[in-house]
Amino acid sequence: MEAGLIARVGITAASLLLGLWMLTPTFLPGPQHAELTRVCELAELKDPPEDAAPPQTFTKFLPCKFLVKGLDLQGGVDLTLYVDVDEAVRSTVQREIPTLKRIAADKGVALDDVRRDRREPELLIAPGAGVTLAQVKELVSGRLDRYTYTNTVDEAGKSWLVFRMTDARTDEIRKQAVEQAREVIESRINGTGVKEPSITRKGETGINVQLPGESDMEQAKAAIGTTAQLGFLLVDEEFDQTQADAALPAAKLALGDTDYLDDRLLSEWLQDNGVLHVGQRLYWFYDKDKKPAARTGSVVLKDEVLLTGDDVSTARTEQDHQTGNYYVALDFKPHGSAIFSEVTGNNIGKRIAIVLDDHVSSAPTVQSKINGVASITVGGNTQEATFNEASNLSLVLRTGALPAPVTVGEVRTIGPQLGDKAIKQGTLASAIGCVLVFLFAGIYYRVSGLLADLSLALNGLLVLALLVGFGATLTLPGICGIALTIGMAVDANIIIFERIREELRGGKSARTAIETGFDRASVAVIDSNLCTGLAGVVLYSYGTGPLKGFGVTLLIGIITTLFTGVFVSRTLMEWAFGSRNTANVSI
């Protein structure tokens, strides 16, 4: 046997052994599979528990890689979220108010007040005495060049200069909001430890989330859909709360039951009817143990956010040793810590409200100056409930707030029974197709066909091994892609075998016919697979869900088909017939 052929046989054997090694963890029996999973999870921990049982010996020789099944195979949660992009625009306008006030103070331009229009992406600026429109325009254009002056309105005894955000800027914010929301959701899901989630854009404002293996829909929505916009605001101690309470029946009658439950619309109605003034807003406490959450009390806050979630360095779950309940402890960044210390020092005896997603979490009275630490209490009927809520809240605060509120649209839960059924049906269909292909090759091409069957079996093995190696997810369309891969590999062998037959009919020896057949037919095989690969790239790049899963296995299948169809098949053919100088080849 020639040295080159020996090397090719060695490469073929090595690829077979490598594929078996990669797939062994996936197909281990139950107890061994559980042990390897435990060892792999311990290896990922920075501080594994000291009392953990030592790993069994066999785990040292196997990789910590498993074949990951997709949502359609193992069940899970599939939900679509929609981002409120208009609120993202309004929030951007609100965040620019402190910046404008600071710049105005630095440049000596007196402004009586700056606020945001409730419905439009507009800044309303009340200039101070002696300040001209030209000065305000220069101030805005120097820092907020994406705003243009539109008109002047008289309201609440003041003249307000209206600066509207440009359409180009609002479109940019809308697009960024959806992409930022997708990134935040992805970070949160990664923090929960879900294996192989799928987070993709859906339309202009939608985000599709698939969580294989998850079954708790409510916990998934709590971790993913919580906006986590945190704010610290001062309670307006001078406002008579009974005035707001007395106006609520009239507000309910005017707004109707649905709009009355919208906190923002209710607060705006109170402003429009003179109950609240500019710079005040009504917020509510909620009992989240009730489904849906119910209002339990209201408080009027000064509508100026002192600190936000961006000022938080980290959030962690802690337990109150006196009550046993859990809460979220916040550590501020240096800048945020300085602001919090100053605010608490200047407001001793007053209340500071901690607002999360426009709901008041708590409004404690400041007893003394606080340096850099705050806490958020959470509700729950049991310790387990408070722990779960505190854990979810600390997770979303660590990963950052969503740029805008999201609403849950379509929700779908796929049970494991459906996944098992899909696996059985898909596997059965693929197995029947492969058996028919193997029989055809063996009957029609005889010994050469049996050699082709060996390369086809190696092809399927390598497809699964590469899925494991790349960390790709096997889906039901992916199983169909594997069946298609086997068909493509057979097609490659047919092209090559027919070419070898032509060479044999021309009177060439077995060795020469095999070499010539593979050399001339391989060009056509490679060309056809590369063209199919372009389709796979398009499916993977632009497809979502099933199309993406099909594209993954198709691309991997093309790689393995070229390897087994051209390299492995040639190695087996030359090993079986290459030493003969006759024209007799079983083909």
Residue 419 has pLDDT above 60, yes or no: no
> In terms of DSSP H, where are the helices of 471-509?
476-505
Q: Which of 199, 197, 206, 190 has its CA nearest to residue 410? A: 206
The residue among 305, 259, 261 whose CA lies nearest residue 281 is 305
pLDDT score at 18: 94
Integer CA distances (angstroms), 183 to 210, 224, 289, 309, 345, in order: 14, 11, 29, 17, 37
pLDDT bracket for residue 545 (50, 70, 90): low
**Burial degree of 259 (CB within 10 A; 0-12, 13-18, 19+):** middle
Name which of 152, 117, 120, 154 is nearest 136 in CA terms: 152
DSSP H or E stretch at residue 312: strand 312-319
Q: Can you give the pLDDT at residue 170?
A: 92
Q: Can you tell me whether residue 128 is helix, strand or coil?
A: coil
End-to-end CA distance of the chain: 22
From 430, 558, 550, select the one nearest 491 (Cα to Cα). 558
- DSSP string covering 563-579: IIIIIIHHHHHHHHHTT
Q: What is the dihedral of CA 282, 287, 292, 295, to 10 degrees?
A: -30
Average predicted confidence (pLDDT) for the chain? 84
Q: Which pLDDT value is given to residue 5? A: 82
Q: Burial code of 333-347, b = ≥16 C-beta within 10 A, e = fewer? A: eeebbebbeebbeeb
- pLDDT score of 418 more than 60: no
Query: Under a CB-based contact definition with an 8 Å cutoff, are residues 19 and 585 in contact?
Result: no
pLDDT at 198 over 70: yes
pTM comes to 0.60
Domains of the chain: 3-23+416-577 (1.20.1640.10), 30-65 (no CATH), 86-168 (3.30.980), 171-413 (3.30.1360.200)
**Would you state the pLDDT for residue 379?**
64
pLDDT in tens, 112-156: 888 888 788 999 999 988 888 999 898 888 767 789 999 999 876
The pLDDT-based confidence of 319 (bands split at 50, 70, 90) is confident
For Cα atoms 107, 113, 116, give the angle at the middle one, nearest 5 degrees.
110
pLDDT at 283 over 90: yes
Q: What is the DSSP letter of 365?
A: B
Give me 200's structure tokens: 């993709």
Rounded Cα distance between 556 and 515, Å, is: 27
CA separation for the pair 336, 348 (Å, rounded): 18
Predicted pLDDT at 372:
66
What does each C-alpha distance from 256 to 110, 249, 250, 270, 275 come to in angstroms? 42, 10, 10, 14, 18
Q: What is the mean pLDDT of residues 379-408?
A: 74
Query: What pLDDT was estimated at residue 338?
Result: 86
pLDDT of residue 217: 72
Confidence of residue 583 (pLDDT cuts 50, 70, 90): low
- Which of 467, 531, 459 has the alpha carbon at shortest distance from 490? 459
d(CA 8, CA 12): 6
- Alpha-carbon distance 562 to 552, whole Å? 16
Query: What is the residue type of 72?
Result: D
Among candidate residues 362, 365, 364, the one with its CA nearest the CA of residue 349: 365
Residue type for 563, please?
F
Give, as one character, the DSSP assignment of residue 351.
B
Asked whether the beta carbons of 80 and 208 are under 8 A apart, the reply is: yes
Cα 488 to Cα 456: distance, rounded to the nearest angstrom: 10
What pLDDT, on the 0 to 100 scale, is given for residue 46?
Answer: 63
The separation between CA 268 and the C-alpha centre of its own chain, rounded to angstroms, equals: 35
